[in-house]
Amino acid sequence: MSSSSQQNLLLSKISTSSFKQQQQEHKVNQRDKDTIKLLTFNTWGLKKVSKFRNERFENIIDLLSGKPSSNLEHPIPSLSTYSDFDIIALQEIWCENNRNDLISKLGKNKNLNSRFFSSGIITGPGLGLLTKFDIKKSWLYRFPVNGVPWAVHRGDFYVGKSLAITELNVSNNNKSNGEEGTDSLVILNSHMHAPYAQSGYNAYLCHRVVQAYDIYKVVTLLQETGKRVVLVGDLNSKPGSLPHRIMTSLTGLVDSFVSEQIYTQEQIAAMTCEEQVLLAGTTCDSQLNTWRAEREHWEACRLDYALIDPKKIRCVESKVQMTEVVPGIGSLSDHFGYSCVLKMEASDPRLIIETSLKERQHILKEIVTVIDDYVLVAKKQRFVRLAHFAVSLIIILASVIFITFTSRISGWSSVIVYIGGVVILVTGLLNGIFGYVFAQSELRGLNEVRMEVLDDLNSL
């Protein structure tokens, strides 16, 4: 068993009693003052694509403001959403009107500070944070390898998937370490590249692996300065996958989700829909979600996380949230949310397991293998696009010659050839730009990460 699996299994066993105790405390609204309650939620805020977007956001804001509509349906009543979150990390806030409503309505009603991040070609990464704490610092790390421009219908490249880093001044009332007063907590909020297939080129595994490696480097730098770190968001990586292992085994972060045990994907597939959410914490592709009701039962999985540093943070409760359904509209989003209650103190010492040298080497070598395999495919893609560009130039030259000699003899044929030439010219130029500029940029970015991974390997 890998060290990350051992950590998560220990977290499950050690925290189960605390989990049940804290559940009861929340039912009577008696949460410790020195705990921090965090929510991460992918809101599905695509303009023109996401159905009933404004209506759903209205209900999301009301629910998080503590005044939900009385007619909301609860597929799992025990998971009714709380409204007393200290930190709300959001993904897919891509429309300005929804962002403004969150700030003016939710932020004003709950007296929350807010920070929404702006980068990308079209709308920005869609990342935002609302919090009761003062924001000390914030910055955005935009992933250098993130999708391809010719996948226009997917949009990852154009929104600029990123890692949003926000440092908060939080109240630290933990006296066990002799400290009391203001302390820092760094929230890393991300929405990584989405998979569009289970395997192959359209799975974009390499892009997520590289993004996970970038996150690992940022987390490590923050840890070296003594910061408390929590990584949250829609990480688009199933538990045990290579990106997930990079973000846990290499960083030392552990999953905050408290469960009786660690379930395999096969075990999750054998559960009922309710069990998948309650026991395994599935947040995506659940048949209980009206926007994913047509998915296969076995597809339910966890993609939304709060990964914590057990040396500095302890989780006392966790659960799936935002499962409510708006009658006549549907679920609040195509994802469920995830929340956890954290204390700014070290977890049980048994959770702090250092990743072995052998496992670190294995993970780093896996990264190199994934990059090398993808580079072969990317080079073929570049060759095809540049070949298309070259052939297009030849065809355009031939079309000009044809039109010159036939325009007076056969006018209509000249018009058809002219229109066809324009189409070939446009597509050829686009593929020339894609192949020469963007494909080259992607390959250089991958090569840079590969060299960084090799540096890590050589330093072990």
What is the distance between the terminal CA atoms of the chain, rounded to a whole angstrom?
21
Pairing relationship of beta strands 229-234 and 314-321 according to DSSP bridges: unpaired
The strand pair at 229-234 and 181-191 is best described as parallel
Which residue carries 């597929």 as its tokens? 75
**Helix, strand, or coil here: 367?**
helix
Is residue 192 within 8 A of residue 212, CB to CB? The reply is yes
For residue 88, the surrounding DSSP H or E stretch is strand 87-91
Separation of alpha carbons 50 and 116, rounded Å: 20
d(CA 155, CA 161): 10
- Which of 26, 335, 362, 388 is catalytic? The answer is 335
Q: How far apart are CA 401 and CA 393, in angstroms?
A: 13
Whether 153 contacts 72, CB under 8 Å: no
SS3 of 387, please? helix
The candidate with the shortest Cα–Cα distance to 232, out of 174, 182, 293, 189, is 189
Residues β-bridged to residue 135: 168
The answer to whether 335 is a known catalytic residue is yes
Name the residue with tokens 């446009």: 426
Two tokens at 134? 């003062």
Please give the C-alpha separations between residue 230 and each of 234, 341, 344, in angstroms, as whole numbers.
Answer: 13, 12, 11
Contact 75, 93 (CB under 8 A): no
| Sign of the C-alpha dihedral computed for residues 114, 118, 123 and 127 taken in this order | negative
How many CA atoms lie within 13 Å of 380's alpha carbon, on the beta-carbon side?
7
Check if the beta carbon of residue 358 is closer than 8 Å to that of residue 404. no
**Side-chain-side CA neighbours of residue 204 (13 Å):** 20
Dump the DSSP string for 94-127: --HHHHHHIIIIIIHHHT-EEEE---SSSS----
Contacts of 257 (CB under 8 A, 6+ apart): 8, 281, 302, 305, 306, 318, 338, 340
Contact 203, 192 (CB under 8 A): no
Q: Which helix (H) or strand (E) holds 452?
A: helix 439-459
Residues annotated as catalytic are: 335
